[in-house]
A and B are shown apart, each in its own frame.
Chain A
Amino acid sequence: MHIPDGYLGPQTYVPLYGVSIIFWSIAQKKLKKQLSLKHVPYLGMAAAFSFLIMMFNIPVPGGTTGHAVGAGIIAILLGPWTAVIAVSVVLIIQAILFGDGGITAIGANCFNMAVVMPFISYGSFKLIKGRAESGKRMTVAAFFSGYIGLTAAALFTAVEFGIQPLIATGVDGRPLYAPYPLSVAVPIMLIQHLVLFGIAEGLVTLLLLKYFLKHERDLVYAIADPSGNK
């Protein structure tokens, strides 16, 4: 889902940089207020943990393995605003150090995976979980938080790809950037994530959350803060 350089025109990547900067500023202010002096090492830790989650391949039923994008579980464990900074830092490091995602697309990638995904995952987890503290409802909430969050991020990515032929064309009317129209980009990205990657993300989120609930319940932000107002 990491968008490389060359697929988004400036009409798309410049505004998305702007939106991401707004979210980074809000997240930074919120966390600084909550954590005071601790916020810098705390966010460094959260980002490193986010990076490492992505490195673990987990066997999923069906004989294959998958790894999480991790934004959903990070949002549940540490809170959505922490996830905004943590996942953004990871995406920036991945883009600069590993060529995973483009330099011009950092704003878009951060918006999709570090803003949309954590908030949708966290919101759907709180919504589905309701007042349940354990049991099947919690299990369903954990799975769908990862599943819905990743699928929503994929949808946003697909829309960003799909609008390129509409907003950035040459004099001959042909697309200058991503060539696939919305009618192709959206179904392809959605089908992949609805039937494969979303399920893997959901299972990984569920598995990790179950472990934390069993052994380290107090460390889970979404449980420790039932109002979700943090």
Chain B
Amino acid sequence: MENKLPSFLLDQPSPVSFKQGKGRIKMGFLEEGIHHLAQLIKKGYVQWELSSGSGLFQKIDARVKVLFLLFFVIIVNLKRDLLSELYIGGFIFSLALLSRIRIVTFYSRVLFLGFFLGFLIAFPSAFNVITNGEMVGPVIRFSKPINFWIYHIPAEVGITREGIYGVIRLTLRVINSLSLSFLVLYTTPFSEILRALKVLKVPDTFIIIITLCFKYIFIFSKTAEDMHLSKKSRMVREATHAEAREWIAGRVAFIFMKTRLRYEEVFKAMIGRGFSDTIKLYGFPKMRTGDCYAGTFLLFTGVFFLFI
């Protein structure tokens, strides 16, 4: 799959020689911004390529997968015990295996985000300052409890059993929710996911706006990257903060004008093809028997998880 990626995504950014200090800056922040843009395009490619694979989930109708995602995310968020979360996590793992997703790539992304969005945010609540309970890991001891305004800090501050339980539950919830999202994303083309939103009664107009935005983002991400590379190739001296800010503000304005021009062109093309403000997406074909079986299986599995 790697050799199908465009070369500009595979190139490592070249080191830059701008100095820092006294109003002179490194170009690192620009590199970082452009890196984000390149990553964005790369993720789009990877998602597109993975979703066209031939695993279990790739064969299922997008409508079934969107309903599965919504149903299971709600279940994951309703469950209160760790064991249920672990069972659901195991079920998602087996679905990912059967879908022939690259497990290491998949879980490195899930666990990375899960660590930041789940564990790190929740971790301070493991202390008895937030969650009272049985102390399992004392950290600091004061001579007496501290009280100020509405806050109370006990004489002994540490991690509680109940606090750890809460942190693990939140972390598992975040990881399971992310796994579900990425499982559907990695096995379904984004355009199909958007079209499948029709089953949730999302208006066609809104789906078209999201689709257009998605297409524009990829076009203009490449434009932004090109602008940066052309600027970098013409730079012969250090940039000051003020120059850098002026340049970025100018590029954002330029993108704004480009997007306006593009929208005018798209609008003219739509009019040219007979657009009359009536948006109607083509419906999906009738669901196959296999999709119905898959949907029923996922529904019953979800109900099972809901009641265990």
B263: chain A residues within 8 A (beta carbon): 38, 41-42, 44-45
A150 to chain B, nearest CB (A): 18
- CB neighbours (8 Å) of B43 from chain A are 97-98
Interface residue? B232 (CB, 8 A): no
Bitwise interface map of A from 213 to 230 toward B, beta carbon under 8 Å scored 1, else 0: 001100100000000000
Q: What is the count of residue pairs linking A and B with beta-carbon distances less than 8 angstroms?
A: 208
Residues on the B chain within 8 Å of A102, using CB: 73, 177
Nearest Cβ on chain A to B134's Cβ, whole angstroms = 13
Beta-carbon contacts of A99-132 to B below 8 Å, as 1s and 0s? Answer: 1001110000000000000000000000000000
B299: A residues at CB distance < 8 A? none
Q: Are A59 and B174 in contact (CB under 8 A)?
A: no
**Complex Cα spacing A208 to B177, Å:** 36
Closest-CB distance, A84 to chain B (whole angstroms) = 12
> With a CB–CB cut-off of 8 A, which chain A residues contact B276?
37
Q: Is A158 an interface residue (CB 8 A)?
A: no
| B190 within 8 A of partner (CB) | yes
Chain B residues with CB under 8 A of A176:
80
B241 — which chain A residues lie within 8 A by C-beta?
Answer: 59, 61
Chain B: residues with Cβ within 8 Å of the partner, total of 85
Instruction: Please determine whether B213 and A90 come into contact, CB atoms closer than 8 angstroms.
Output: yes
Known: A55-B36, A184-B130. A5 touches B76 (CB 8 A): yes
| Cross-chain contact A5 with B173 (CB below 8 angstroms) | yes
Among A44, A46, A89, chain B packs the most CB atoms within 10 A around the CB of A44
| Contact flag A179-B181 (CB < 8 Å), given A44-B216, A85-B209 | no
Query: How far apart sit A137 and B99, CA to CA, in the bound complex (Å)?
Result: 59
Measured between alpha carbons, how far is A95 from B224 in the docked complex, in Å? 23
- From 260 to 280 in chain B, residues with beta carbon under 8 angstroms from any chain A beta carbon are 260, 262-263, 266-267, 270-271, 275-277, 279
Q: Does B226 contact A (CB under 8 A)?
A: no
| A57→B31 CA distance, assembly (Å) | 9
Query: Are A210 and B249 in contact (CB-based, < 8 A)?
Result: yes
Interface set, chain A 129-156, CB cutoff 8 A to B: none
Q: B-side binding surface: helix, strand, loop or mixed?
A: helix
Interface of A is mostly: helix
Q: Quick check: A175 and B166 within 8 Å, CB to CB?
A: yes
Q: Out of A24, A40, A44, A183, which one reaches B151, CB within 8 Å?
A: A183
Q: Known interface pairs A89-B209, A99-B181, A104-B77. Does A4 touch B253 (Cβ–Cβ under 8 Å)?
A: no
Kindly provide the distance from the CB of A153 to the nearest chain B CB, expressed in whole angstroms.
17
**In the complex, how many angstroms separate the beta carbon of A12 from the nearest chain B beta carbon?**
11
Name the residue of chain B whose CB is nearest to the CB of A101.
B117
Of listed A28, A55, A208, residue having the most chain B CB within 10 A: A55
Q: Using Cβ atoms and an 8 Å threshold, which residues of chain A touch B217?
A: 48, 51-52, 93
Contacts of B235-274 to chain A: CB distance below 8 A: 241, 244-246, 248-253, 255-257, 259-260, 262-263, 266-267, 270-271
Listed in ascending order, the chain B residues whose CB lies under 8 Å from chain A are: 20, 25, 29-30, 32-33, 36-37, 40, 43-44, 47, 69-70, 73-74, 76-78, 80, 109-110, 113, 117-118, 121-122, 125, 130-131, 150-151, 162, 166, 170, 173-174, 177-178, 181-182, 185, 190, 193, 203, 205-206, 208-217, 220-221, 224, 241, 244-246, 248-253, 255-257, 259-260, 262-263, 266-267, 270-271, 275-277, 279
Between A and B, 5 residue pairs with Cβ closer than 8 Å are: A90-B213, A104-B77, A177-B170, A179-B125, A207-B245
